[in-house]
Amino acid sequence: MEKIQMTTPLVEMDGDEMTRVLWGWIKDKLILPFVDLKTEYYDLGLLHRNETEDQVTVDAANATRRLGVAVKCATITPNRQRMEEYPQLTQMWKSPNGTIRSILDGTVFRTPICIDAIKPVVKNWKKPITIARHAYGDVYRAVDLETQEPGTATLTFTGDSGQTQTVTVQRVEGPAIWQAAHNKADSIRSFARACFQYAIDTRQDLWFSTKDTIAKVYDGAFKRIFEEEYEETYKSQFESLGLTYFYTLIDDAVARVIRSEGGYIWACKNYDGDVMSDMVSTAFGSLAMMTSVLVAPDGTTEFEAAHGTVTRHYYRYLKGETTSTNPMATIFAWSGALKKRGRLDGLTDLTAFGEALEQACFDTLNAGIMTKDLVSLVEPGFAATAVSSEAFLDAVAERLAKKLA
């Protein structure tokens, strides 16, 4: 069989631990036998980030902006424990995802991969729920302070003109902790535009939630900017497609989500999106069945799995033990990137390959061949067999080859 050709490379960002191992297996078993793969490769493994003082992450993000499509492996964000585990590290490097999101000014869309054999914990959910997470600011760029004596905290903004604005935060009579968070109007606007455009592209309703009744200025700005963008730019397109834009308070949104059938995009601020994406993925089955797509305002797109590097399985793998690590989300990162590259370059066979790869995964799962984490989640009466990661990939490869023959 002649390999499917590519014209423009993908940006390929390699990662850490067990997902790095899976990365190589996926390429060797599911992509390279069928596609003349062209990538611009960046090693975002922790030790290489350390060697380059994290410049490789910046270079990968800039390459993504230049080429338009990237696929990323899960990576380690070091904490104190990781500093002890990797004594070569010169500092606790920032999250690569955070750096890439900041450079691309992107919005993260996370969607569960659903199969009939695994029903959501919320029984009335019939369609996937996509979480759109604003990937800038709030507590993730906050500054913290701990004080020990009585006193008064103020917040002061000093403009380049020299003018200042000051508000009193609180007077305390003893030890206290403080936190100052911020966001930027242009980032919120980019977030809104990405959400509305993604809703149009995927033909899904868009829900948005904050707590503007409490954070009247902060969350109120989010609400106002979304309304401005909808009314001025997207309303006519939404109406022509029969789509709905809906705003409500975050607590009301949670209640509505639980009672819904799914099938929409739920846009959330940074922290809300962080929490709710894990809740939704778990309720649908497994974080290993959650895709993650970063979309920039100019359409630049990065695909990755929503989960981490699967450290526990990696150390078992290093001991020579066979692991049953679920590769689904990482496979779908590759298939999503290849489909996007195919659409941008007008390569219908490359797009069709990505779709065939995903269907081969579904066919394998529907045949009862799956990794151990999914076997315990299947509906009663469904015959499922737990296999190793490599055995699962081999089963997918067999079905993919038949589809492409």
> Is residue 1 pLDDT above 80, yes or no?
no
Average pLDDT estimate for 277-295: 89
- In this predicted structure, the answer to whether residue 22 has a pLDDT above a threshold of 80 is yes
Q: Which two tokens stand for residue 283?
A: 């309720």
- If you write DSSP's letter for every residue of 111-162 in order, what string do you get? EE---TTS--SSTT--S--EEEEE-S-GGGG-EEEEE-SSEEEEEEEE-TTS
**Looking at residue 52, what DSSP letter applies?**
T
Q: pLDDT tens digits for 214-254?
A: 999 999 999 999 999 999 999 999 999 999 999 999 999 99
Compare 338 and 274 and report the one with higher pLDDT. 338
pLDDT confidence of residue 13: 98
If DSSP codes are grouped into helix, strand and coil, which group holds residue 396?
helix
Q: Examine the pLDDT at 299 and tell me if it is beyond 90.
A: no
370/115 Cα distance (integer angstroms):
12
Residue 163's identity, in one-letter code, is Q
CA 80 to each of CA 90, 116, 160, 309, 392: distance values in angstroms, whole numbers, following the listed order = 12, 41, 38, 17, 35
DSSP tag of 379: P
More confident residue, 274 or 171: 171
Which residue in the block uniquely carries the two structure tokens 């705003």?
Answer: 247
Distance CA 389, CA 43 (A): 23
Q: Is the pLDDT of residue 199 over 80?
A: yes
How far is the C-alpha of 122 from the C-alpha of 138, rounded, in Å? 30
Tokens 């895709």 label which residue? 291
Q: What span, in angstroms and rounded, lies between the C-alpha atoms of 129 and 111? A: 6
| Residues 379-397, mean pLDDT to the nearest whole number | 97
Single-letter residue type at 90:
T
| Token couple for 81 | 């424990």
Map out the domains of the chain as residue ranges.
143-180
Residue (of 23, 58, 36) closest to 338 by Cα position = 36
> Which letter, b or e, does each residue of 274-287 get, where b requires 16 or more Cβ atoms within 10 Å of its Cβ?
bebbbebbeebbbb
- For residues 341, 342, 343 and 347, what is the CA-based torsion angle, rounded to 10 degrees? 150
Evaluate if residue 152 carries a pLDDT over 90. yes
- Token pair 């834009």 is found at 245
332 is written with which tokens?
């779908």
CA 133 and chain centroid, separation: 8
Residue 12: pLDDT above 80?
yes
pLDDT at 62 over 90: yes
Can you tell me the mean pLDDT for 346-355? 98
Stretch among 27-31, 112-116, 253-257 having the lowest mean pLDDT: 112-116
Q: What angle do CA 375, 393, 397 make, to 5 degrees?
A: 125
In this prediction the pTM is 0.88
| pLDDT surpassing 80 at residue 132 | yes
Task: Say whether 322 sits in a helix, a strand or coil.
Answer: coil
**Cα dist from 120 to 102, 284, 285, whole Å:** 33, 4, 6
According to DSSP, the residues that pair with 130 across neighbouring strands are 265
pLDDT at 201 over 90: no
